[in-house]
Chains A and B, each alone.
Chain A
Amino acid sequence: MTLLDALIDFLSDPDSWSGSRGIPARIVEHLYYTFAALAAAFALAFPVGLLIGHTGRGALLAINIGNAARAVPTFGVLILVVLLAGIGFLPVLVALVIIGIPPILTSTYAGIREVEGATVSAARGMGMTERSMLFSVELPIALPTVIAGLRSATLQVVSTATIAAYVSLGGLGRFVIDGLGQRDYGEMAGGAVIVAVLAILLDVMWVLLARAVVSPGVSGRLRRTPRARPDDEDRTDQHGTDESHAQHETAAGSA
């Protein structure tokens, strides 16, 4: 149990919690990397996902980009950009954006595409413009899937941000890398545990956010008419809301 003791020692030491190398400062750095990368990935992937989902054009391209990006080892990309552009925030940002893009792109595209044809036709029949159809009909219905994509992008970005410390940046990975260098298990495990907790908290944040922004009509929480058979409900609800299904689509699509 000495390893556990080392961990407790690190976490209960007031020095671990203070100053620019303390845990709070590292958490702020870590969150900064994470959100900067997510914002950039979202800005790049979301509009493209909307366009592909709405027009149906370029779907194969989106699927292939998603699959190919999954095969690229982020760790290698991080080092590659460091060797080419020098140490700094840029390589970390590039590496994190690359892993943030595929989940956002594929889930946005899949979410929009899964909106039923009849619904889209009804909107068109009511005289909606393409733009208002996309933003008032398709996007609200696709929102749970889009958020599921953001959620999985966040998970991957948060965990990968840990390796930023390897190329001399800050963030919670500092504790892991420095602890490893000094064979200080407490510091190493302390950093690891805090990243894990941070990842879980961010995950919970997305779940709560989804609950707040997804229309009750779409999420099914506001259902006035009772469903005929619980079996049917299971089947309809499985579409879209589950992120792993977006992955199935991606994986199956490139065959």
Chain B
Amino acid sequence: MDWGYVESNVDLIVSKLVEHLYLSIVPILVALVLAIVIGALAVRFPKSYPPILALSSAFYTVPSLALFVILPGIIGTQILDPVNVIIALTIYSLSLLVRNVVDGLRVTSADVRQSALSMGYTRTRQLWSVELPIAMPLIFAGLRVATVANISMVSVGALIGVGGLGELMTDGFQRNYLAPLLVGLVLSVALALVADVVIVTLQRWLTPWARLARQA
């Protein structure tokens, strides 16, 4: 390992790390909000769910590089625009999260729903204070898978010039030089692991009752 590379390129490495984080996290946040909205609608109107599921599975089958490249033709962006990567990853994350949100919202039993109803909860309040909290474990499971997948997928964006740490990898390939590649690879894995730990911690913090239930 050539530590000289790291020393003389600290600024570049940090900026690519930040770019990588940005490219993978923005899609997750957008997809999470959309998934909760679409998921809640799908639970309220069950007939809409099979087509939503079919559409999201279809999107999930499209290879990432293919989607990065096809998107500009559909939405009229420039081919090397970072927005293509962000939108593509949002679509993947959404496809994954919608399932988990719907499965999660369906965990709430009819008894619990009726209790909420008889306590005078409106539909919206019932969603926010009863169904979503109960759905948390499944939503978080989806978030973890989607986040880790995104962080690994961003690198492919380097092929269209927008890849965060992936650009260090292509740099290593073009110069037949291991150092940038290893830096990109190791940081990408580390980023995924750290993100995973952050999400798990967030989950513990947001679902304190899960720990209480385990102790009881």
Residues of A within 8 A of B (CB): 3-4, 7, 67, 70-77, 79-80, 82-83, 155, 158-160, 162-163, 166-167, 173, 176-177, 179-180, 183, 185, 188-189, 191-193, 195-196, 199-200, 203, 238, 244, 247-248, 250-252, 254-255
Q: Please state if B181 and A74 are interface contacts (CB–CB under 8 Å).
A: no
In the complex with contacts A76-B184, A200-B58, A251-B141, A70-B152 CB distance below 8 A: yes
Considering the chains assembled together, what is the distance between the CA atoms of A82 and B200 in angstroms?
Answer: 35
Please name 21 pairs of A and B residues whose Cβ atoms are closer than 8 Å in the assembled complex, sorted by A: A67-B148, A70-B148, A72-B152, A73-B156, A73-B185, A77-B185, A82-B173, A83-B172, A159-B62, A166-B159, A176-B65, A176-B159, A180-B160, A183-B79, A192-B69, A195-B65, A196-B63, A200-B61, A244-B103, A248-B100, A254-B196
Chain A residues with CB under 8 A of B151: 71, 73
Q: Please state if B173 and A79 are interface contacts (CB–CB under 8 Å).
A: yes
Chain B residues with CB under 8 A of A72: 152, 185, 188-189
Q: Please state if A252 and B137 are interface contacts (CB–CB under 8 Å).
A: yes
Considering the chains assembled together, what is the distance between the CA atoms of A73 and B184 in angstroms?
Answer: 9
Considering the chains assembled together, what is the distance between the CA atoms of A200 and B62 in angstroms?
Answer: 8
Q: Please state if A76 and B66 are interface contacts (CB–CB under 8 Å).
A: no
Considering the chains assembled together, what is the distance between the CA atoms of A67 and B148 in angstroms?
Answer: 9
Chain A residues with CB under 8 A of B144: 251
A189 touches which of B73, B189, B196 (Cβ 8 Å):
B73
Considering the chains assembled together, what is the distance between the CA atoms of A74 and B192 in angstroms?
Answer: 13
Residues of B within 8 A of A (CB): 57-58, 60-67, 69-70, 72-73, 79, 96, 99-100, 103, 137-138, 141-142, 144-145, 148-149, 151-156, 158-160, 165-166, 169-170, 172-173, 176-178, 181-182, 184-185, 188-189, 192-193, 196, 200
Q: Which partner residue on chain A sits nearest B143 by CB separation?
A: A251
Chain B residues with CB under 8 A of A71: 148, 151-152, 188-189, 192-193, 196
Considering the chains assembled together, what is the distance between the CA atoms of A180 and B72 in angstroms?
Answer: 13
Q: Please state if B149 and A70 are interface contacts (CB–CB under 8 Å).
A: yes
Q: Which partner residue on chain B sits nearest A183 by CB separation?
A: B79
Considering the chains assembled together, what is the distance between the CA atoms of A200 and B63 in angstroms?
Answer: 10
Chain A residues with CB under 8 A of B166: 73, 75-76
